[in-house]
Amino acid sequence: MKSLPTSPVFIAAIETAVPAFSCPQSSIRDFMLGVQGDSERKRAFLQKIYAGSSIERRHSVLPDFIVPMEERTFFPRNKELDPEPTTTQRNAVFCVESNNLSVQAAERLFDNLPELSRGEVTHLVTVSCTGFSAPGFDYHLVKELGLNPGVHRFHIGFMGCFAAFPALKLAHSLCLSQPGAKVLIVDVEICTLHFQKNFEPDTVVANALFADGAAAALVTDDPRLEKRSRLVLSDFATRLIPGSDKEMAWIIGEHGFDMKLSAYVPRLIENNIQTILDELFVQAGWTRDESLLWAVHPGGRAILDKTAAVLGLADGALEVSYKVLANYGNMSSATIFFVLKAILEGPGTGPLFACAFGPGLTVESALMEVIRP
């Protein structure tokens, strides 16, 4: 592979945070069996979905999935979940918990960056598709972290699982246009607030897959931070898969946000990912070889399986993505930062291809390079 041209812009550090309630996948399965498993057919379908998820554990801001029914704090204390929480009630929890998780992730980031004072942050980019408020957790971060009150704020909202890439592209552009910029990205997704009781296949799969998590990253060209392991940002691409707009969607409903998730999504990704990869390599002037590192959004086991197969990846190439899926589930847009953090802290070095998928159907991708001091 041709060496990646030196870029002045890099991710200096990534930190993550998850809520306190660590839920075995079996506990969430049992919760859903109690709510949705009112026939043998439904119970068999639920068992199949959870058994095939490759998820061992997820995290939630809610204790309800791991406590007895009479100790639930959010969902009704009955098997029917009646009355089901409204969107207003779910969003109220988001407003509180997004503040908490965003600060946790950002505090960890600054603890890992002693070279950087908080007042040096020039731009704050926040990301979420699981709740809204104005002022939002971006405003809360400025106050709680002691950032410069004049920090420039941007919000990437309601884009879905691929939204970390627009955030990184924005940060990259800001640093290229304003040398010396220090862009703090904070991504918070609280998906478990939107679990619902209807037995539509899309809902059953979403309930079995999504989880809560947050991440913070610093993007800069600051030479003081070049003495640490970092991810140099090179090229980005976005692609809309034709005729797929109805296969994945995320819309506001009466009882939370509603997920449309077609069973054809893994096949659509399988049919397009090679072309997307090839086009990005041409754009960057790269040639692929076996040294390439991979950071694929673990949207589900089938997506990872089909991506690995169609790209002819060696065994273990997507090990980090599979591990994140197993240990955290799909945390929507925050998930790719968990993958990148693990790669940055691992032994690998050299060029890296990263991608994520979301409503549209949209595929976002990037070329980076892992550089060690």
Active site residues: 161
Phi, psi values for residue 300, rounded to 5°: 165, 160
3-state secondary structure of 294: strand
As a whole number of angstroms, the distance between CA 156 and CA 123 comes to: 13
Can you list the positions of beta strands (E) in the chain?
10-17, 21-24, 57-60, 123-128, 152-157, 182-190, 212-220, 230-240, 248-253, 256-261, 293-296, 350-358, 362-371
> Using CA atoms, how far apart are residues 140 and 289, in angstroms rounded to an integer?
45
* Burial classification of residue 70, based on how many CB atoms lie within 10 Å of its CB (0-12 exposed, 13-18 middle, 19 or more buried): exposed
Output phi, psi for 39, to 5 deg: -150, 160
Per-residue three-class SS string for 190-232: EHHHHCCCCCCHHHHHHHHHECEEEEEEEEECCHHHHHCCEEE
Q: How many CB atoms lie within 10 A of CB 119?
A: 12
First-to-last CA distance in the chain? 21
Q: What's the token pair of residue 358?
A: 């979301």
Angle at 373 between CA 364 and CA 314, to 5 degrees: 50
Query: Which of 363, 357, 340, 351 lies closest to 11 in space, CA to CA?
Result: 340
Structure-token match 């950032």, residue found: 147
